[in-house]
Amino acid sequence: MAIEPRDQQCQTAGREWACSRPVDRRTATGTGPIRGRVHSVESMGALDGPGLRYVLFLQGCPLRCAFCHNRDTWSLWGGQDKDVDEVWNDLLRYQSYMQASGGGVTVSGGEPALQAAFVAELFRRCREAGIHTALDTSGYARIERADVREMLSYTDLVLMDIKAMDPGLHRSLTGVDPGRIRRFASFLADQRIPVWIRVVLIPGITTTEENLVALASYVRTLPNVERVELLPYTKLGDHKWAEQSDRSPLAGVREADQSDVERAAAILKAGGLHHVWIDS
C-alpha cells in the first residue's frame, strides 16, 4: 500500500465537526429561513442519481479521504452563505427538466449531513412539490440526531460511499473509524430507504480480493441496496489538493484501469451482488 502520511490538517479528521459550526443558522430572530454554506451548483448533473439533476454541493466535511476529488470543500468556513429560499428559488427554474428526465435534486458535498437541518428543509419542500431527492453522503453522520433523521425522512435515495471494509484501512484512507457509518447504514436498512453504494477502486488498496469479498458479504446484509457503483480512482481532483497547498496522499498510486474494474465487478458478482454498475 502507498498511502503517504497525513499532514496536520488531515489528522484532525472527524474533530472539526465537533467544534463551532458556521451552518444551519437561522436569522437573529430565530424565525427566518435556515441558512447553509454552499460550495457550488451543477444545474444538469447526470451522474448523481437517476435522470437529470440539480446537484447542490455543500461546504464542509469531517473526513479527510486520501482520494478526495473535492478537497476544496473540506473547510467549514468556505463557500457562500445562502438561505434555503435562495436555493429553492434557483432549483425551481430547472423543475421541468428534472421531471421530464425522471431526475430531481441531489445534495452532495463535502458532507451534506453536516448541514442536516438545511437539507431537511430543502428536501421537505421537494417532497411537497413532487421532486425526487437524493443524498450523496459518506454516511459519517450521528444517526441519533433529530435533524439527521428529519433529513432522511424526506430523502428518496441515498448515494453512500463505502471507502474500505477493514477498520484500520478505513482510518488510514479517511481519518475516521467506520463504526458511525455502519450505524448510519443499518438505520437506512431498517427504514428501507433505497441506497446506491459507491466504491472507489484504488489499485492495490481497495481492489484487493480481501476488501471486495468482505464488501460483498456486508452489502448482502443490507436489503435496501439497489445497486453498487464502481468508480475507478483517477487523479482528476489532484489539482484541487495543489490549490490548497496540499498533496494527495495517493500521489504515488496509479489510476484504476478497465481490468481493475472488470476484476472487481467479477469478485462482487461472485460474492452474490447482482446489481453492480460500472461508472465509465
Using CB under 6 A as the criterion, which residues of the chain lie in contact with ligand SF4 when the complex forms?
61, 63-65, 68, 70, 73, 109-111, 138
Nearest to 58 by CA among 77, 44, 79: 79
Cβ nearer to ligand SF4, comparing 13 with 98: 13
Residue 50 has phi, psi (to 5 degrees) of: -70, 150
Cβ nearer to ligand SF4, comparing 111 with 147: 111
- Minimum Å gap between C-beta 280 and ligand SF4 is 20
- Minimum Å gap between C-beta 196 and ligand SF4 is 15
- Minimum Å gap between C-beta 26 and ligand SF4 is 26
Cβ nearer to ligand SF4, comparing 131 with 181: 181
Cβ nearer to ligand SF4, comparing 9 with 70: 70
Residue 53 to residue 94: CA distance in whole angstroms: 9
- Minimum Å gap between C-beta 214 and ligand SF4 is 20
Strands 35-45 vs 132-137: parallel, antiparallel or unpaired: unpaired
- Minimum Å gap between C-beta 101 and ligand SF4 is 25
- Minimum Å gap between C-beta 40 and ligand SF4 is 13
Cβ nearer to ligand SF4, comparing 131 with 157: 157
Do 122 and 87 meet the contact criterion of CB atoms below 8 Å apart?
yes
3-state helix, strand, coil in the chain (%, to 5): 35, 20, 45
Cβ nearer to ligand SF4, comparing 68 with 219: 68
Dihedral (CA of 38, 241, 201, 43) sign: positive
Nearest to 118 by CA among 93, 81, 91, 166: 81
For the chain, what is the radius of gyration of the CA atoms? 18
Cβ nearer to ligand SF4, comparing 98 with 113: 113
- Minimum Å gap between C-beta 130 and ligand SF4 is 29
What DSSP element (H or E) covers 36? strand 35-45
Do 79 and 37 meet the contact criterion of CB atoms below 8 Å apart?
yes
* Cβ-count burial 164-180 (b if 16+ within 10 Å, e if not): bbeeebbbbbbbbebeb
